[in-house]
């Protein structure tokens, strides 16, 4: 089934994902869309295990809402007296009608997905001690509007860096850093050196995140170091590698092409300075 720019595909764990014509990518790994939410975001963030009385999670790139759904499922299972707020950021809701075609085998999960769909359509939905708030618009604006809020975990889940560079720049990571509680853990599927370098320049302590199937490892980042950091040798290799030059977007307003071009320029200048070949 297709809607506008999107086409539904079924991934290896039976859950659906969307292929975006604009980005030329699927929203999730074809190894298993819902499994990815559990294995790359909810699990490694350990936000459920670290749950305090009131916990909040920032979910960047809500998409079909699987990361939020997987988190809510885990929260329901642990039956604590705590409360959970999820703030999801998304700029495109043209795929909203396709969310109605998504079916899970587990009736409890399907019913919980009703809460996610309600929040996507209406901006907010609650169930018991859980609230899901959806902020529409460019996530770069939304993170600035959230200034003063503090989160216990961030699910960083835009499209890939080269397709969606505005949500992978050092300046954007700085804005995320300012929204982190000390023990906040940021999770992402990307292990690209320029992504890790961008996070390091923004102040994050950076470590390895789990991979999934045949895919490379992801990345975990934290403000206060509640993760296993990269070895100093690995961190040194990133800093010495001209290919790790991060994206820059000083006023958080640059166009995608300009962000890509600026990085290419910076790499070229660095090569010229050091005389190094960058393959
Ligand atoms: C890989 S998909 C996210 C999948 C999602 N996390 C899930 O659990 O189903 C990336 C999402 O980021 C959104 N996105 C891309 N750039 C954005 C931006 N600048 N601001 C807000 N959302 C953006 C896309 O519209 C897309 O829905």
Q: Within the chain, which residues score under 50 in pLDDT? A: 278-279
Q: Sign of the C-alpha dihedral, residues 94, 73, 131, 128? A: positive
Q: Is residue 202 part of a domain?
A: yes
- pLDDT recorded at residue 80: 80
Contact indicator for 244, 193 with CB cutoff of 8 Å: yes
Q: Is residue 26 part of a domain?
A: no
Q: Is the shortest distance between the CB of 36 and ligand 1 below 6 Å?
A: no
Q: Is residue 207 part of a domain?
A: yes
- pLDDT recorded at residue 2: 54
Determine the distance separating the centroid of ligand 1 and the alpha carbon of 233, expressed in angstroms. 33
d(CA 19, CA 35): 17
Residue nearest to atom 14 of ligand 1 (CA): 61
Neighbours of 264 (CB within 10 A): 10
Determine the distance separating the centroid of ligand 1 and the alpha carbon of 158, expressed in angstroms. 5
- pLDDT recorded at residue 213: 72
Q: Is the shortest distance between the CB of 221 and ligand 1 below 6 Å?
A: no
Within 6-139, strands assigned E span: 6-10, 16-20, 25-26, 54-60, 83-90, 124-127, 130-136
In this structure, the chain runs to a length of 279
Q: Is the shortest distance between the CB of 157 and ligand 1 below 6 Å?
A: yes
Q: Is residue 18 part of a domain?
A: no
Q: Is residue 86 part of a domain?
A: yes
d(CA 153, CA 75): 14
Determine the distance separating the centroid of ligand 1 and the alpha carbon of 265, expressed in angstroms. 27
Q: Is the shortest distance between the CB of 70 and ligand 1 below 6 Å?
A: no
pTM: 0.96
Q: Is the shortest distance between the CB of 159 and ligand 1 below 6 Å?
A: yes
- pLDDT recorded at residue 271: 82
Q: Is residue 220 part of a domain?
A: yes
Q: Which of 7, 13, 63 to mutate to test the pocket of ligand 1 (most atoms within 8 A of CB)?
A: 63
Q: Is residue 43 part of a domain?
A: yes
- pLDDT recorded at residue 225: 78
Which ligand 1 atom sits closest to the C-alpha of 138?
Answer: 20
Contact indicator for 189, 236 with CB cutoff of 8 Å: no
The position carrying tokens 């290419």 is 264
- pLDDT recorded at residue 166: 98
- pLDDT recorded at residue 4: 64
Q: Is the shortest distance between the CB of 246 and ligand 1 below 6 Å?
A: no
Q: Is the shortest distance between the CB of 198 and ligand 1 below 6 Å?
A: no
- pLDDT recorded at residue 187: 98
Domain count, the chain: 1
Determine the distance separating the centroid of ligand 1 and the alpha carbon of 264, expressed in angstroms. 24
Determine the distance separating the centroid of ligand 1 and the alpha carbon of 62, expressed in angstroms. 5
152's enclosing H/E stretch is: strand 151-156
188's enclosing H/E stretch is: strand 180-188
Residue 144, φ and ψ in degrees, nearest 5? -70, -35
268: CATH:
3.40.50.150
Q: Is the shortest distance between the CB of 67 and ligand 1 below 6 Å?
A: yes
Determine the distance separating the centroid of ligand 1 and the alpha carbon of 200, expressed in angstroms. 23
Q: Sign of the C-alpha dihedral, residues 14, 19, 23, 25? A: positive
Q: Is the shortest distance between the CB of 161 and ligand 1 below 6 Å?
A: no
DSSP string, 216-241: PPEEEEESS--SPBPPHHHHHHHHH-
d(CA 256, CA 243): 18
Domain around 180: 31-274
Rounded alpha-carbon distances, angstroms, from residue 152 to 60, 102, 174, 180 = 14, 29, 16, 7
Q: Is residue 195 part of a domain?
A: yes
């Amino acid at each position: 089934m297709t809607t506008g720019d999107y086409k539904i595909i079924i991934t290896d764990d039976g859950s659906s994902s969307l292929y975006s014509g604009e980005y030329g990518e699927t929203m999730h790994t074809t190894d298993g869309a819902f499994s990815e939410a559990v294995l790359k975001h909810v699990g490694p963030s350990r936000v459920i295990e670290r749950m305090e009385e009131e916990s909040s999670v920032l979910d960047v790139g809500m998409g079909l809402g699987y990361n939020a759904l997987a988190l809510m499922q885990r929260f329901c299972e642990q039956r604590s007296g705590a409360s959970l707020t999820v703030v999801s950021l998304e700029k495109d809701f043209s795929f909203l009608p396709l969310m109605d075609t998504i079916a899970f085998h587990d009736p409890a999960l399907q019913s919980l997905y009703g809460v996610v769909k309600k929040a996507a359509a209406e901006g907010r939905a609650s169930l018991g001690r859980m609230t899901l708030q959806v902020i529409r618009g460019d996530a770069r604006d939304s993170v600035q509007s959230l200034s003063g809020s503090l989160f216990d975990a961030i699910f960083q889940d835009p499209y890939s860096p080269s397709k969606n560079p505005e949500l992978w720049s050092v300046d954007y990571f700085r804005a995320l850093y300012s929204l982190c509680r000390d023990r906040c853990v940021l999770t992402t599927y990307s292990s690209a050196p320029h992504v890790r370098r961008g996070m390091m320049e923004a102040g994050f302590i950076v470590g390895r995140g789990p991979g999934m199937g045949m895919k490379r490892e992801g990345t975990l980042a934290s403000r206060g170091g509640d993760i296993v950091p990269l070895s100093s040798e690995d961190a040194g290799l990133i800093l010495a590698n001209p290919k790790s030059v991060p994206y820059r977007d000083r006023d958080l307003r640059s166009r995608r092409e300009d962000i890509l071009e600026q990085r290419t320029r910076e790499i070229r200048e660095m090569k010229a300075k050091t005389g190094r070949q960058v393959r």
